[in-house]
């Protein structure tokens, strides 16, 4: 099935560093969501974006909905060891009462060295 | 705990057997989704319900797969005549609008 292009595939950083990751698509979405997944668990919703150009924060996390509606970015500031995990972007193109399904990227594996 | 729950968390079955998974969504959510995730990949959409109506099915959902949500509350996903390629994490999510909340998943291993 279709998946979004998410980069980088993996990152290895020192505690306290800032992190940036992004997601691009060949088609537009009207909602972007960012999730974090720990091994053996389901994804946990971090941030939801609903409008092109929107910038939204959740604690140390900041995400942006790209102007073209084909991309999104996630930044994590001052990383800590518990930020370790796989981060997924997901796009949604709702139209009327249909198309609620999410299309996911392949994820960015983040490792934080204490 | 008022999150999405899934049962069982792990299932090991022999090829050719049937398996059934259950999902209990967040109580006030009218939409329920099933996704499948394999190692190194993001979740892939399988099917979606609004209340008890199954509104969308992916081409990934072969004839061996069936999902139900009989009373608009919990849902079941059945796989008949399992194949080794069915081994994956099966994730359930629920939502009221766009924000989907996932359960812990059911890890299926077909031997």
Q: Which residues pair with A19 in a beta bridge?
A: A76
Give the largest Cα separation in chain A, rounded.
Answer: 47
Residue of A nearest to B43 (CA): A104
Task: Compare A49 and A96 and report the one with higher pLDDT.
Answer: A49
* Residue labelled with tokens 């992004």: A22
CB atoms within 10 A of CB A45: 17
The distance of Cα B14 from the centroid of its chain, to the nearest Å, equals 19
Coil vs helix vs strand at A98: strand
Task: Please say if the pLDDT value at position A3 is more than 80.
Answer: no
Rg of chain A over all Cα atoms, to the nearest angstrom: 14
Instruction: Compute the half-sphere exposure of residue B110: CA atoms within 13 Å on the CB side of its CA.
Output: 16
Which residues does chain B have within 8 Å of residue A29's beta carbon, measured at their own beta carbons?
none
Provide mean pLDDT across the span B41-68: 93
What digits encode the pLDDT tens for the residues B80-89? 999 999 999 9
A99 pLDDT band, cuts 50/70/90, is confident
Asked if B39 is an interface residue toward chain A (Cβ–Cβ < 8 A), one would say: no
Q: What are phi and psi of B32, to 5 degrees?
A: -135, 140
Residue B51 token pair: 């209340």
What angle (nearest 5°) sits at the alpha carbon of residue A38, between those of residues B88 and B90? 25
A74 vs chain B: nearest CA distance in angstroms? 17
Which residues does chain B have within 8 Å of residue A4's beta carbon, measured at their own beta carbons?
42
Residue A61 token pair: 């996390």
Q: Which residues of B29-43 are buried (b: 16+ CB within 10 A; e: fewer)?
A: bebbbbbbbeeebbb
CB contact under 8 A, B101 and A97: no
Provide mean pLDDT across the span A66-82: 97
B72 pLDDT band, cuts 50/70/90, is confident
Provide mean pLDDT across the span B9-32: 97
Which pLDDT score, from 0 to 100, does residue B2 have? 80
Q: Which helix (H) or strand (E) holds B19?
A: strand B19-24
Task: Please say if the pLDDT value at position A1 is more than 90.
Answer: no
Q: How many CB pairs below 8 Å do chains A and B form together?
A: 76
What angle (nearest 5°) sits at the alpha carbon of residue A41, between those of residues A36 and A46? 20
What digits encode the pLDDT tens for the residues A7-57? 999 999 999 999 999 999 999 999 999 999 999 999 999 999 999 999 999
B76 pLDDT band, cuts 50/70/90, is very high
């Amino acid at each position: 099935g279709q998946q979004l292009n998410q980069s980088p595939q993996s990152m290895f950083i020192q505690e306290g560093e800032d992190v940036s990751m992004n997601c691009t698509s060949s088609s537009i979405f009207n909602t972007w969501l960012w999730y974090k997944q720990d091994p053996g668990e389901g994804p946990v919703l971090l941030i939801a974006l609903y409008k092109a150009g929107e910038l939204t924060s959740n604690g140390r996390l900041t995400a942006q909905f790209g102007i073209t509606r084909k991309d999104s970015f996630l930044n994590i500031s001052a990383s800590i060891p518990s930020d370790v995990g796989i981060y997924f972007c997901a796009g949604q193109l709702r139209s009327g009462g249909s198309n609620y399904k999410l299309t996911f990227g392949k994820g960015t594996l983040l490792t934080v060295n204490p | 705990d008022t999150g999405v729950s899934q049962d069982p968390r792990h299932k090991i079955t022999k090829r050719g057997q049937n398996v059934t998974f259950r999902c209990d969504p967040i109580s006030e959510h009218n939409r329920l989704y099933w996704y499948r995730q394999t190692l190194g990949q993001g979740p892939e959409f399988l099917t979606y319900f609004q209340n008890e109506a199954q509104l969308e099915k992916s081409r990934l959902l072969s004839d061996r797969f069936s999902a139900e949500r009989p009373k608009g509350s919990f849902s079941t996903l059945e796989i008949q005549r399992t194949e080794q390629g069915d081994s994956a994490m099966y994730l359930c999510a629920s939502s009221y609008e766009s924000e989907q909340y996932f359960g812990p998943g059911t890890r299926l291993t077909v031997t």
